[in-house]
Amino acid sequence: MDEKEQVIVFEQHGFRAAVYPGSFDPVTNGHLDIIHRAAKVFDKLIVAVLNNTSKNPLFTVDERKELLRQVTSDLPNVEIDSFRDLLINYMKQKNVNLIVRGLRAVTDFEYELQMASTNRKLSEDIETFFMTSTPQYSYLSSSIVKEIARFHGPVTDLVPAEVEKALRAKYSAKP
């Protein structure tokens, strides 16, 4: 059975898996909101941490995966993984054809539409499932969280407690 046939078999039996890719550096309450909501929609949600070697992340891939595991431990259908290749190649490796993406604002939509169209061009079996952010998180990004934490500002309402603790440890260790 080839990959395409496996995806069709999953669909015929009502099994739906999706991948929620991102850098998650760090995971925010906005990310967690999308994860919780997507976990209700799909039978299996793979949260895939992008290992982008061209960026200089605050947390290593393993640290980001561990933080994600901690904050999603109450969701039995969520799997934490990572990838460093094209998302389309990762999706094929996992035999999944649905991508979950969160949208905060119009600017997100423009970028995400471009990415969804590109992914669809690379593999016409790939679909993107957009979820709008809950209004209370529509402004929230990992970059904003890191900037606030770097200057020892309050991030309690922006990230889970485990992430806040990890941020404080990172920034107290930096000169």
139 annotated ligand-binding residue: yes
The tokens describing 28, both together, are 């925010």
Q: Is 101 annotated as a binding residue?
A: yes
Among residues 102, 111, 104, 110, the alpha carbon closest in space to that of 130 is found at: 102
Q: Is 104 noted as a catalytic residue in this protein?
A: yes
Q: What is the length of the chain?
A: 175
103, 130 in Cβ contact below 8 A?
Answer: yes
171 annotated to bind ligand: no
111 is in an annotated binding site: no
In 136-170, which positions are buried (b, 16+ CB within 10 angstroms) versus exposed (e)? ebeebebeebbeebeeeeebeebbbebbbebbeeb
Q: Which of 40, 55, 172, 174 is catalytic?
A: 55
Catalytic residue, chosen from 92, 104, 133, 146, is 104
Around Cβ 63, how many Cβ atoms within 10 Å? 16
Was 142 annotated as part of a binding site? yes
DSSP state of 135: G
Strands 78-83 and 44-50: parallel
Any binding-site annotation on 24? yes
Annotated binding residue at 87? Answer: yes
Of the residues 31, 65, 92, 146, only one is catalytic, namely 31
Dihedral sign for Cα atoms in the order 63, 127, 41, 134? positive
55 is catalytic: yes
Residue 94, annotated as binding a ligand: no
Q: How many CB atoms lie within 10 A of CB 78?
A: 21
Known binder of ligand: residue 64? Answer: no
Please indicate if the annotation marks 73 as binding a ligand. Answer: no
Binding residues for substrate: 23, 55, 87, 101
Binding residues: 23-24, 31, 55, 87, 101-104, 112, 137-143
**Catalytic (active-site) positions:** 31, 55, 104, 142
Binding residues for ATP: 23-24, 31, 102-104, 112, 137-143
